């Protein structure tokens, strides 16, 4: 059976892609952020995932304001990279696995999540930048992209995204192949790109979210979407992707790594690694 080994969550700011292209890893502005991935690289080398299930938000590439699914799941053999004009290099396609995707889709619909299923799906910087941060130069995993609407209101609640993740987690663990699966949440943390609060960052709220998401993710569901916009900025709502990632960790969860650095391009940049130990293994220990 497939096993969930853990989760990684990270910021996906487009300018990170430009910094990678320009190899600015040791530049004083970027070093505190890139250094946060040293541990991630060690963790991935040790854990060797076969699959990465991505919770992210599409930035107008597949879905625009005229048609915007709340949740959409990819079921393609590969996912080609496009972006919306930030000048970052177009990355290689990411490999998919329709059989695994359809297993998740069937399980989600059976679990009463009315998702949009996408046999053709483009990915943007919200997937390619985290892939390149985790595996510079080559991506040795197959992916399932799961897009969450963080763009046009009404957005799904924190509770709904946590439940989505839990449903995905149960689906992963019911897949009959012996695969090692990691889950990824991208975006955030606090930032606002437009309006009178452009540049808004809330370190105190970010730290609270980073603390609670490890052991007490349900306590974060008391924040409404409007609370989240007020506390973390209009684009800080990308934290919904982190909630879904955390929901998919079905076992005993511990924080293996955490990095927080402000600002990167007007955004609070954060990276976490969470280990997931199966409940059965914990009880047997
Ligand atoms: Fe974003």
Q: Please give the angle made by the CA atoms of 112, 131 and 279, to the nearest 5 degrees.
A: 50
Look up 59 and say whether it is catalytic. Answer: no
Q: Chain centroid to CA 214: how far?
A: 15
Nearest 10 degrees: Cα torsion 120, 238, 138, 271: -160
Whole-number pLDDT of residue 5: 98
* C-beta separation of 20 from 113 below 8 A: no
Whole-number pLDDT of residue 125: 94
Whole-number pLDDT of residue 85: 67
% of the chain residues with pLDDT over 70: 96
**How many whole angstroms from 259 Cα to the centroid of ligand 1?**
19
Q: Which pairing describes strands 180-186 and 3-10: parallel, antiparallel, or unpaired?
A: parallel
Catalytic residue among 103, 191, 226, 257: 191
From first CA to last CA, the distance across the chain in angstroms is 20
**How many whole angstroms from 145 Cα to the centroid of ligand 1?**
15
Q: What is the mean pLDDT of residues 69-97?
A: 89
- Using the predicted structure, report yes or no on whether residue 228 has a pLDDT greater than 80: yes
Contact residues for 151 (Cβ-Cβ < 8 A; gap 6+): 57, 58, 59, 60, 65, 68
- Using the predicted structure, report yes or no on whether residue 89 has a pLDDT greater than 90: no
Look up 261 and say whether it is catalytic. Answer: no
**How many whole angstroms from 62 Cα to the centroid of ligand 1?**
14
For residue range 170-212, what is the model confidence (pLDDT) as tens digits?
999 999 999 999 999 999 999 999 999 999 999 999 999 999 9
Task: Grade residue 90 by pLDDT with cuts at 50, 70 and 90.
Answer: confident
- Using the predicted structure, report yes or no on whether residue 282 has a pLDDT greater than 60: no
**How many whole angstroms from 284 Cα to the centroid of ligand 1?**
41
For residue range 245-270, what is the model confidence (pLDDT) as tens digits?
999 999 999 999 999 999 999 999 99
Model confidence pTM above 0.85: yes
Catalytic residue among 12, 59, 125, 261: 125
For residue range 123-171, what is the model confidence (pLDDT) as tens digits?
999 999 999 999 999 999 999 999 999 999 999 999 999 999 999 999 9
Task: Grade residue 56 by pLDDT with cuts at 50, 70 and 90.
Answer: very high
């Amino acid at each position: 059976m497939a096993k969930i080994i853990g989760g990684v969550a990270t910021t996906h700011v487009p300018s990170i892609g430009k910094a990678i292209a320009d190899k600015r890893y040791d530049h004083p502005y970027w070093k505190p952020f890139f250094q946060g991935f040293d541990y991630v690289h060690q963790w991935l080398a040790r854990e060797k995932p076969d699959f990465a299930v991505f919770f992210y938000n599409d930035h107008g590439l597949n879905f625009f304001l005229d048609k915007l699914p709340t949740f959409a799941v990819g079921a393609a053999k590969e996912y080609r990279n496009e972006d919306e004009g930030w000048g970052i290099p177009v990355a290689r396609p990411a490999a998919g696995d329709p059989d695994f995707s359809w297993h998740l889709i069937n399980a989600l619909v059976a679990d009463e999540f009315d998702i949009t299923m996408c046999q053709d799906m483009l990915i943007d910087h919200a997937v390619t930048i985290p892939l390149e941060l985790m595996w510079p130069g080559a991506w040795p995993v197959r992916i399932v992209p799961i897009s969450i609407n963080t763009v046009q209101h009404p957005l799904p609640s924190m509770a709904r995204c946590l439940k989505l993740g839990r449903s995905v987690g149960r689906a992963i663990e019911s897949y009959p192949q012996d695969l090692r699966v990691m889950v990824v949440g991208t975006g955030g943390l606090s930032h606002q790109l437009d309006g009178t609060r452009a540049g808004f960052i809330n370190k105190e709220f970010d730290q609270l979210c980073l603390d609670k998401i490890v052991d007490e993710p349900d306590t974060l569901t008391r924040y409404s979407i409007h609370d989240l916009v007020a506390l973390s900025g209009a684009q800080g709502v990308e934290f919904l992707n982190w909630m879904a990632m955390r929901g998919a960790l079905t076992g005993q969860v511990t924080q293996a790594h955490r990095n927080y650095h402000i600002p990167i391009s007007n955004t609070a940049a954060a990276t976490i690694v969470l280990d997931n130990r199966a409940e059965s293994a914990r009880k047997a220990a």
